[in-house]
């Protein structure tokens, strides 16, 4: 599975959009980009995933660049409850496992 | 609401004890996973199972074993607990080839003294 690079931490003002970047320059054609988050003392929670098209659900939007070497998770209106560690993961559809890196610690500030 | 349930939230065991961590899911998922999480190291995969009685080693299987006798239950076993196994243990399940279906339990914080 391709490796990912994320900034270790980010701040975002409450009510503003949070844009979390992820680099995955070695991604291969059949690998998906997944985003999970982990709120303190809880298990990780799935947010969204995509292959090459932009995706949106009730939680977030995922923007994948045309060359697929990077992506951005967008939380459109961040709240204090969005404070968490966000993990960007790249994995093939045929893989049984996801490899979690260290993620980005997002702090939403009042 | 679908769930992955871990039997204990907090557990304290003595060095050398045999420890069982239980995980049950109610989503009829084929795949089940055990991770441990330590500060600064992120989540690391210990073992996973893609079918009943099947198991595969993850990145850090040493000192652990697993059991999957029924589809809904995946047990992690520490044969002889050691202090370096003090950690947060997380169980997850998913359907095959549907990674967005990963559902995690709330975790078991194990302390070995």
Phi first, then psi: what are they for B109, rounded to 5°? -90, 110
pLDDT score, position A102? 86
Give the minimum alpha-carbon distance from B43 to chain A in angstroms, rounded to a whole number.
6
Residues 35-74 (B) with a CB less than 8 A from some CB of A: 35, 40, 42-45, 48, 50, 56, 58-59
Contact A34 B99 (CB under 8 A): yes
Residues 6+ apart with CB under 8 A from B23: B4, B5, B6, B7, B32, B34, B73, B74, B75, B76, B91, B93, B105
- The Cα A18–Cα A69 span in angstroms is 20
| Tens digit of each residue's pLDDT (9 = 90 or more) over A81-110 | 999 999 999 987 666 677 888 899 999 999
Contact A34 B107 (CB under 8 A): no
- The Cα B43–Cα B20 span in angstroms is 20
pLDDT (mean) for B94-100: 70
Dihedral Cα B33, B36, B39, B41, nearest 10 deg: -70
Establish, for the pair of chains A and B, how many residue pairs have beta carbons separated by less than 8 Å.
53
| Tens digit of each residue's pLDDT (9 = 90 or more) over A1-42 | 568 999 999 999 999 999 999 999 999 888 899 999 999 888
- The Cα A24–Cα A69 span in angstroms is 5
pLDDT score, position A33? 93
Q: Hey, of B102, B105, B107, B109, which one would you mutate to test binding to chain A, going by the most A CBs within 10 A of its CB? A: B102
Residue of chain B whose Cα is closest to the Cα of A100: B43
In sequence order, what are the beta bridge partners of A49? A34
Residues of A in contact with B59 (CB under 8 A): 99
- The Cα A97–Cα B5 span in angstroms is 20
Residues 6+ apart with CB under 8 A from B98: none
Residues of B in contact with A102 (CB under 8 A): 40, 42
pLDDT score, position A30? 85
Residue of chain A whose Cα is closest to the Cα of B94: A96
List the single residue in A41, A49, A102 with the smallest CB-CB distance to B99: A49
Asked which of A80-89, A90-99, B1-10, B30-39 is least confident by mean pLDDT, the reply is A90-99
pLDDT score, position B4? 95
Contact B43 A44 (CB under 8 A): yes
């Amino acid at each position: 599975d391709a490796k990912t690079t994320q900034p270790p931490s980010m701040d975002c003002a409450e009510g503003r959009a949070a844009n979390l970047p992820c680099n995955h320059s070695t991604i291969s054609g059949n690998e998906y980009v997944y985003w999970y988050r982990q709120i303190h003392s809880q298990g990780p929670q799935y947010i969204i995933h995509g292959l090459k098209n932009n995706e949106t659900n009730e939680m977030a939007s995922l923007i994948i660049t045309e060359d697929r070497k990077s992506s951005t998770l967008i939380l459109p209106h961040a709240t204090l409850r969005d404070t968490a560690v966000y993990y960007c993961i790249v994995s093939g559809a045929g893989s049984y496992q996801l490899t979690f890196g260290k993620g980005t610690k997002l702090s939403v500030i009042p | 609401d679908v769930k992955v349930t871990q039997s204990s939230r907090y557990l304290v065991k003595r060095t050398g004890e045999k420890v069982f961590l239980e995980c049950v899911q109610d989503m009829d998922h084929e795949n089940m996973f055990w991770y441990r999480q330590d500060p600064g190291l992120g989540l690391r995969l210990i073992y996973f199972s893609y079918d009943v009685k099947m198991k595969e080693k993850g990145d850090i299987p040493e000192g652990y074993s697993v059991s999957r006798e029924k589809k809904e239950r995946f047990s992690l076993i520490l044969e002889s607990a050691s202090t370096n196994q003090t950690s947060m243990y997380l169980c997850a399940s998913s359907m095959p080839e549907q990674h967005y279906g990963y559902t995690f339990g709330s975790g078991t914080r194990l302390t070995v003294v």
